[in-house]
Amino acid sequence: MNYIITYLIVFSLFLTFQHGAEASNLLDSLSQVAHEKVNEGQLDEAMELYLQALQMAETEGKGKEVASIFYSIALIHHFQNNNEKSREYLEKSMDKARAIKDSSRIARCFLLSGVLEYHSGDMEACIPLFQQSADIFRAIGKYASAADAIAKVGNIYETQGRYVEATPLFEQSHKAASQAQDTLKLLTATINLSGNAYNLHDYPKALEYLNIARELAVGLERDFEYQELLKLESYIYEGMGELKKSNEILWKYVEHHDSMLNVDRTRQIAALETKYETEKKEATIQLQKKQLSLQHSRLLAIAVILVFALLAGGVLFRLTRQLRKRNEEKEFLIKEIHHRVKNNLQVLSSLLHLQSRHIKDESALDAVREGQTRVEAMSLIHQKLYMGDNLAAVEMQDYLYNLGDTLLDSFGMDNERVKIIYDVKPMHLDVDIAIPLGLIINELVTNSLKYAFPGNRNGKIEIALWKNKSEQLCLKVADDGVGKDAAHTPKNSTSFGTNLVNILSKKLKGKIEKQHENGYATLIVFEPFRMAG
């Protein structure tokens, strides 16, 4: 009710004062509140405000503001995983920015274009876009933004295992951050240099950068980066063979992780305070609109009608506001639960990793590592639920990409040796379906990584998830490895993973079919069930 009234006030004032200074102030206010709505995750409300601001900016002929709003709308579509629509608005922003020669906006458009290509899986296409963005930012003296763009190229090379090529890019990013005198960007750049040196097994250099980054993190009071640096330091000392020191630092990481839970609660309280300030700014906008309406006699009748509408809808508005507040509190509690479960599972994974260092028996070590991958598969589910807008459903496409990368890292493999190919249709699944399905995929991919490619053999693993014409959910995990008959199976194997797949498939009412042509494949067809919204 209040939102409809707000829209009517904005629209009527826009018609009357489209050429006045008051309209310009209103445009600025709308854009500012829309930006704050984005930061709060209220994307639908932010989109409505941006569309109102866009109509005003185009009528006023404000080219720079139009380019900025087009970019913001593209960003919202990206956050909502609608990258096709995001590209449409990004192109409009780029055209407008070029027309008015807004170099800063052009550079930002190149940067977001690179991000969209990255999310589409085209790594090679996004690299030149990030480089163009960095070049423009450097040319106009925005070195902090240039550091971000350069670092993104280095991060791509890092994910591809091209650590030597990533090194000069991270060094350029560090130099740009230093030129900008941006301490936070400098912290990120130094962490990148430390992690890259670790990947190159240059442990002394990794420690040198890590100590610099730690001082920056302490000075900036950046607890999360400080925590991640503890984990990296543990890995560095492990690589140097100093296991005792590595274990001591890993325990510090676990202790710091627990303390971060309390910090997270403090930050949530601060977020609520920020929301309160935003509501105050929204009230200021309403006041500006009322002042504009009082300045023009033609709006007197409309103002009277709106006042009566406000009075008539007061009770309904209050009830709606109370219900909305209760829903927000429930969503906050549910997110807190997912956050705590995710954090506890991550701690459990770290403890399993710590325990595995002291196990000499290979079968016991394999069991612990497999347990760790299962814990990480469930942790990813709760991380997606915590970070997403839907608290009861998981977007499977993004989840499976992350799960595949996690498994490759766990087995020390990269895309040069074993490549995972995804054929996953966009879909959301209830958490009760997503968790057992994620564990099934974890077991099938783990089996392929363990047995399908002996002797450093190269190969591919395909993960496919789709709905057939009968509305049945279909899962296929296949590899082009040596096949079941040629695969080496340890004598003391308990077949726990196979049993787990059978049990979970039965729970989801799925029928399993094995295929042995050109490697090994497992196809599971589940009975139809309702997809999440």
Concatenating the DSSP letter of every residue in 75-124 gives HHHHHTT-HHHHHHHHHHHHHHHHHTT-HHHHHHHHHHHHHHHHHTT-HH
- pTM (2 decimals)? 0.46
Residue 233: Cβ within 10 Å count: 24
What pLDDT, on the 0 to 100 scale, is given for residue 40? Answer: 79
What is the token pair recorded at 130?
Answer: 């990030």
66 vs 495: CA distance, rounded Å: 61
What pLDDT, on the 0 to 100 scale, is given for residue 204? Answer: 94
Report if residue 511 sits inside a domain. yes
Give me the domain span that covers residue 454.
Answer: 313-526
Report if residue 296 sits inside a domain. no
300 vs 306: CA distance, rounded Å: 10
* Phi/psi-derived region of residue 14, left when phi > 0, alpha when psi is between -120 and 50, beta in every other case: alpha
What is the token pair recorded at 111?
Answer: 């940067």
Report if residue 419 sits inside a domain. yes
Pairing mode, strands 418-424 and 459-467: parallel
483 vs 517: CA distance, rounded Å: 8
Total domains in the chain come to: 1
- Give all strands of the β-sheet with 418-424 in edge-to-edge order: 418-424, 459-467, 473-479, 520-526, 510-515
Report if residue 355 sits inside a domain. yes
Report if residue 237 sits inside a domain. no
Report if residue 377 sits inside a domain. yes
What pLDDT, on the 0 to 100 scale, is given for residue 164? Answer: 92
pLDDT (tens, 9 = 90+) of the chain, 533 residues, equals 444 444 444 544 444 444 445 556 777 777 788 888 887 778 888 888 888 888 888 888 888 888 999 999 998 998 888 889 999 999 999 999 999 999 999 999 999 998 898 888 887 888 899 889 989 998 998 888 888 888 888 888 888 889 999 999 999 999 999 998 999 999 999 999 999 999 999 999 999 999 999 999 999 988 888 988 998 999 999 999 999 999 998 888 888 776 665 555 555 545 555 655 665 666 566 566 556 555 555 555 555 566 555 665 665 656 556 666 555 555 554 455 545 555 665 556 566 666 666 676 666 666 666 676 767 667 666 665 545 556 567 888 888 888 888 888 877 776 778 999 999 988 888 888 888 888 899 889 988 888 888 888 889 999 999 999 988 999 999 999 888 776 666 655 557 778 889 999 999 999 999 888 788 999 999 988 666 65
Instruction: Return the CATH number at 505.
Output: 3.30.565.10
List Cα–Cα distances, 505 to 225, 451, 478, in angstroms: 40, 22, 17
What is the token pair recorded at 315?
Answer: 């009770």
Report if residue 193 sits inside a domain. no
Q: In terms of Cα–Cα distance, which of 220, 234, 143, 165 is closest to 187?
A: 220
What pLDDT, on the 0 to 100 scale, is given for residue 17? Answer: 42
Residue with tokens 């770290």: 350
What pLDDT, on the 0 to 100 scale, is given for residue 267? Answer: 55
Instruction: State whether residue 404 is helix, strand or coil.
Output: helix
Q: How big is the chain, counted in residues?
A: 533
- Burial (CB < 10 A; 0-12, 13-18, 19+), residue 200, is middle
Report if residue 9 sits inside a domain. no
